[in-house]
Amino acid sequence: IFSFTKSVSEVLCNQYFGLRLQKDTSLLKLFLSILCHSCRMPGSVPANGEATWPKDVGVIALEIYFPSQYVDQAELEQFDGVSAGKYTAGLGQARMGFCSDREDINSLCLTVVQRLMEQNGLSYDQVGRLEVGTETIIDKSKSVKTVVMQLFEESGNTDVEGIDTTNACYGGTAALFNAVNWVESSSWDGRYALVVAGDIAVYATGSARPTGGAGAIAMLIGPNAPLAFDRGLRGTHMQHAYDFYKPDMGSEYPVVDGKLSIKCYLSALDRCYAVYRNKIHAQWQREGVDRRFSLEDFGYMVFHSPYCKLVQKSLARLLLNDFLSHTSPDTETGPFSGLEAFRDVKLEDTYFDRDVEKAFMKASTEMFEQKTKASLLVSSQNGNMYTPSVYGCLASVLAQHAPQDLAGQRIGLFSYGSGFAATLYSLRVSQDATPGSGLDKLCASLFDLKARLDSRRKVSPAVFADNLQLREKTHHLAPYVPQGSVEDLFPGTWYLTRVDEKHRREYARRSLNDSDRPLEAGMVNSTTASEHIPSPVKKMPRIPASTAGPEAVTISNGDH
């Protein structure tokens, strides 16, 4: 089981055979225990510890929610009086989703969680950890997670670990890592973890406004997942910068240094990629694999997407990293063809070098088409969702590829949050793409993603501007009754009904049957039958249902 030096092995063999002759098994176990403890540092993981970890921990199910209305970016260009193509061709954005005052971060998360649970036939007592990642803060003390816990009330399950995580767009990834680490730890009790990433991205009038968006992602985390985390392969970079931040507690709008933000994003990408490559090279050496890792080893590469054009530039940036780190790149044929003039450039000098950017974007065109373009469906059609952004890109890949095309692939993900925090990591797609497999079900759950995006209602830029002005005027206003139309929301959407004089928020759910009758928390009213996903551990202790009073029509964020 353990790796020993030759002398220790000899002692072990001699003692083992001696003890076997004596048939003293208890003494043998004691001896082995003492020997094992003497061969590792205090606190270190035994060499066989990995065998005790749950297998293939990762994403089992995924649900996405975005608002039911959007503004067309080409029309917004005209409305804002900017040159044609500035938002569309320049940023790569086609449409931008946005919320009326009927929706806030609590309602977004309530909606996406209940949809995931209903669509996958899950009961709330199957969840042992709930993590929320968001930077849309409406309360400096009470977490969004505690509001979402109202969905668990009917099940009686209050034994749910986890809380909110905040650092700009990185909070969703931090929440995801917390959930994965929990499943792989001694704290795991056999139930699923649930991760929610949600945000409403809005900007003051100006050049940053077209990079907004809104939405939420919910992910079910557990073992034997169709999208399993590559263990030990995370490249992380953390640093201090004031590139994007929200110091005004009375406003939804951030303070943005656009140029610095791009520099921070690209420099974090460089450093995370370098760390990731070093780790996978070390892993390969231990396995006896003697070759270089490159961008070609990712079947798909998805990025946090503030706007789509930056994603295309980021893929080109990774190709630049491969080129500069290669000991003898072939500049005659292949992806590095014709790039010999850039052999001696330094990464830190190229963040705003147009010649380098243009050359490597051209060189990576085919790779972009194959590995990344499909990931930009949600980003181009709905905008930047902040913490769910990179996971909206992941959902876009799953929605547009057959399970057979995805099977066995390695998907690279780069998550970035201003301030700044970033990680590049990878998921391995299951080899099993047969009908009814976990991968098949995951892809099937997202097959209608484009149709859902197309079913939204387009509104004029003037209506969009009026909505943002209303949100600005009523931000943190109490008491307050929202003015937005409930009829315009998607069926099954949770919405804000009122804020009382103590800032307590109450919510109702629009019926899945397209009527206006609100639904109470925790009810399963799916109009389509979904196959039940069992708990990771078959014999799960079920928590007795509470014996509460009459059912309520609305839910609130409760008293302190």
Closest residue by Cα to residue 385 from 148, 165, 217: 217
Q: Are 168 and 417 in contact (CB under 8 A)?
A: yes
- Phi, psi (deg, nearest 5) at residue 308: -65, -35
Can you say whether the dihedral through the CA atoms of 215, 221, 227, 228 is positive or negative? positive
H or E segment and range at residue 413: strand 410-417
Q: Return the structure tokens found at 522.
A: 């925790």
Known catalytic membership, residue 304: yes
Supply the DSSP symbol for 50. G
Known catalytic membership, residue 37: no
Q: Are 105 and 164 in contact (CB under 8 A)?
A: no
| Residue type present at position 447 | F
Q: Rounded distance, CA 502 to CA 505, Å?
A: 9
User: Is residue 261 annotated as involved in ligand binding?
Assistant: yes
Q: Rounded distance, CA 112 to CA 116, Å?
A: 6
Q: Rounded distance, CA 525 to CA 118, Å?
A: 8
Supply the DSSP symbol for 207. T
User: Exposed/middle/buried for 505, CB within 10 Å: 0-12, 13-18, 19+?
Assistant: buried
**Rg for the chain (alpha carbons), in Å?**
26
Supply the DSSP symbol for 161. B
For residue 539, how far is the Cα from the chain centroid? 30
| Residue type present at position 334 | G
Q: Rounded distance, CA 186 to CA 49, Å?
A: 11
Task: Say which of 304, 308, 393, 443 is annotated catalytic.
Answer: 304
Q: Return the structure tokens found at 47.
A: 């060499």
Tell me the H-state helices in 131-193: 144-148, 171-183
Q: Rounded distance, CA 380 to CA 449, Å?
A: 13
How many Cβ atoms sit within 10 Å of the Cβ of residue 357?
A: 17
The SS3 assignment for 150 reads helix
Q: Return the structure tokens found at 491.
A: 């069926």
Q: Rounded distance, CA 83 to CA 150, Å?
A: 48
User: Is residue 458 annotated as involved in ligand binding?
Assistant: no
Known catalytic membership, residue 169: yes
User: Exposed/middle/buried for 554, CB within 10 Å: 0-12, 13-18, 19+?
Assistant: middle
Q: Rounded distance, CA 101 to CA 104, Å?
A: 7
Task: Say which of 103, 135, 153, 252 is annotated catalytic.
Answer: 135
User: Is residue 145 annotated as involved in ligand binding?
Assistant: no
Q: Are 454 and 66 in contact (CB under 8 A)?
A: no
Q: Rounded distance, CA 467 to CA 265, Å?
A: 30
Q: Rounded distance, CA 506 to CA 557, Å?
A: 6
The HSE-up count of residue 48 (CA atoms within 13 Å, CB side) is 4
Positions at the binding site? 261, 309, 313
Catalytic residues: 135, 169, 304
Positions at the binding site for CoA? 261, 309, 313
